[in-house]
Amino acid sequence: MIYADYYDKFKCKCGDCRRVCCGGWGITVSDGEYFRLLGLGCSPELRSILDCALAVVDDPCPERYAMMKPSYTGKCRLINEAGLCSLQIECGEGVLPAVCRMYPRSFTETHAGCSASCERVVELLMRDTPLSFSAPLPEPMASYVNSLSPLRGQLPREGSLEKATEQSDGRSSTLKERISALLPDVLPRGGACSYFDLLGTYISVMSEASESFAETVCRDFQEYGKDGEEKLRGDIAGFDSRFPAADMWYANLIVNRMLITDFPGGDIKAALCGMVCEYALLRFVSAKCETEEQFVDKVSELYRFIGHTNFNKNSAAAINRASIYSADGLSALCEV
């Protein structure tokens, strides 16, 4: 198993978390977990909460049998006023549903990392050194990961990543340049358009896939108005001046998702499209952040959408509808 370097350092912030992991999410449990919790020996107070919190879903199956219904606040009913889990406090970690025990940890058959939808994971990735791993990554993931960081030692290689590697070896290119260099050998040329118009079209289409995305990212973009490109570019430039290490933060966030999604998967074009769109959204949602805390909140909220939807597939469909599914078209999203 290949582990991200922060994996053993991760520790839940518990009551110090500004937005608990179960806030606003539909947490489902298996049939075994459901019936175990129904019969759990516990105090009358906890039993009353559990009886209100658990409900069988409309289309149950063994793996997804019931849901932990949130309270009117949007949080899990088991979270107490201190932000701690009443079930774990009284009965121990062993009685928790698997999703509660494991989140934000994420596994493939060979790799282990954590989702950046957790604010503590974002904090662990906000550093001026690149994310590293307990063992060499498999190809082609290793080549793509190496190409995104100007601080990694690079070996000469041939093929589609040669240009990106040369830029990375030069240690002078920005992340947007390194991402753009990956595109021409995989996607056709042509189809370029303006950054602001393309970002607006993409955000509009993606908002159809998620109500929360529409209420946050799409709403924030609409506030710039039709002629807001200069204002947005100014906000992004201001963020860059406040946080000179942010390019490495972005790279670590993107590489982290590459690990937990086993990049590139079965479709390299969709994977690269998703990478570009992930970068563009990261740049947008962080543009107005004045503090590191605001950055953490915005980014973890974004990854709640990215990590819990079919992001690459939806992004490819949105870019297709904008008629710019090309190296030049996607490069426009990396412009700032």
Q: Around Cβ 132, how many Cβ atoms within 10 Å?
A: 14
Q: Which of 102, 128, 156 is the last residue of a domain?
A: 102
Q: State residue 145's pLDDT score.
A: 94
243 part of a folded domain = yes
Residues 87, 187 share a domain: no
Residues 194, 69 share a domain: no
Residues 74, 136 share a domain: no
Domain containing residue 331: 117-336
Average pLDDT, the chain: 87
271 part of a folded domain = yes
Residues 317, 244 share a domain: yes
2 part of a folded domain = no
Cβ(136)–Cβ(150) below 8 Å: no
pLDDT at 23 over 90: no
Task: Work out the pLDDT band at 151, boundaries 50, 70, 90.
Answer: low
4 part of a folded domain = no
Cβ(112)–Cβ(4) below 8 Å: yes
Residues 211, 294 share a domain: yes
Residues 71, 45 share a domain: yes
Q: Which of 79, 102, 125 is the last residue of a domain?
A: 102
Q: What is the pLDDT of residues 63-117, one digit of tens each?
A: 999 988 888 877 788 888 888 889 999 999 889 998 888 889 988 888 999 999 9
Task: Say what the pTM is.
Answer: 0.88
Q: Mean pLDDT, to the nearest integer, of 112-125?
A: 95
Q: Which of 102, 135, 162 is the last residue of a domain?
A: 102
Residues 287, 174 share a domain: yes
Nearest residue to 121 (alpha-carbon basis) of 253, 251, 15, 288: 253
Residues 82, 39 share a domain: yes
Q: Mean pLDDT, to the nearest integer, of 140-162?
A: 65
84 part of a folded domain = yes
Nearest residue to 336 (alpha-carbon basis) of 139, 198, 134, 146: 198
Residues 300, 158 share a domain: yes
239 part of a folded domain = yes
Q: Mean pLDDT, to the nearest integer, of 237-265?
A: 95
Strand-strand pairing, 54-56 and 66-68: antiparallel
Residues 221, 163 share a domain: yes
Our CA angle for 266, 257, 321, nearest 5°, is 60
Alpha-carbon span 277 to 252, nearest angstrom? 15
CB proximity list for 61: less than 8 A, separation 6 or greater: none
pLDDT at 167 over 50: no
Residues 139, 89 share a domain: no
111 part of a folded domain = no
112 part of a folded domain = no
Q: What is the pLDDT of residues 192-202, one digit of tens each?
A: 678 898 899 89
Residues 146, 65 share a domain: no
Number of domains in the chain: 2
Strand-strand pairing, 66-68 and 2-3: unpaired
